Amino acid sequence: MKLLILTLFLTISAQAQTVADVARQERERRAHLKTTTVIAAEGVRNATTVNTPPAGEPKPVAPDKKTPAPAVTAPTPGRVQPPDPVKDWTERAEKLRKKIQDLQDEETTLQLQVNQLTNQFFAPVADQNSKDQAQARLGEAQNRLTAVQAELDQTKKTLDAMQLQGPPKG
């Protein structure tokens, strides 16, 4: 009886690892997919979104299903699609968020540098030359920190104003 329970337990754990590996591989595959929009015809209002693997990777094919190839038509020459204002707004907002994150990282780095230079300046066993150098670098770091904080505040205000206004309608 114990052997049966042990065998069941081992097969269940082996299947669980396999399922977890398959799920992990599927997440990785989906993370590398590129989304493209396929327009079937000029008069068709519905667009289909197709996920395609990056170049160099084979397309996964389900063994039970046959998927028809999507119909792709070339855009009409001379006809330019107008830019999507919502997409542009979203991209601008995302760039501002990225800039805010970068500025926050830089602010943290500079604050740590200011703290280190302050410790060097107030070190009890430092000679006067070391203190003078630390003080000069401390002043430069504080000036850069102030500039980064001002830019960070301005970028946050710009993003907040954009979000209050919201994406363009239509």
Task: Decide which of 62 and 121 is more confident.
Answer: 121
What is the rounded average pLDDT for all residues in the chain?
77
Task: Decide which of 48 and 91 is more confident.
Answer: 91
Instruction: Say yes or no to pLDDT of 120 above 70.
Output: yes
List, for residues 33-90, the tens digit of each pLDDT value.
776 665 655 554 545 555 555 555 555 554 444 455 555 555 556 677 778 888 898 9
pTM over the 0.85 mark = no
Task: Decide which of 42 and 123 is more confident.
Answer: 123
Structural domains of the chain ordered from first start: 85-165 (1.10.287)
pLDDT at position 97: 94
Residue-by-residue DSSP string for the chain: -HHHHHHHHHHHHHHHHHHHHHHHHHHHHHHT-EEEEE---TT----EEEEEPPTTSPPP--SS--PPPPP--PPPTT--PPP-HHHHHHHHHHHHHHHHHHHHHHHHHHHHHHHHHHHHHT-TT--HHHHHHHHHHHHHHHHHHHHHHHHHHHHHHHHHHHHHH-SPP-
Q: Rg (Cα) of the chain, in Å, rounded? A: 29
Phi and psi based region of residue 83 (left: phi greater than 0; alpha: psi -120 to 50; beta: remaining): beta
pLDDT (average), residues 99-108: 94
Task: Decide which of 157 and 130 is more confident.
Answer: 157
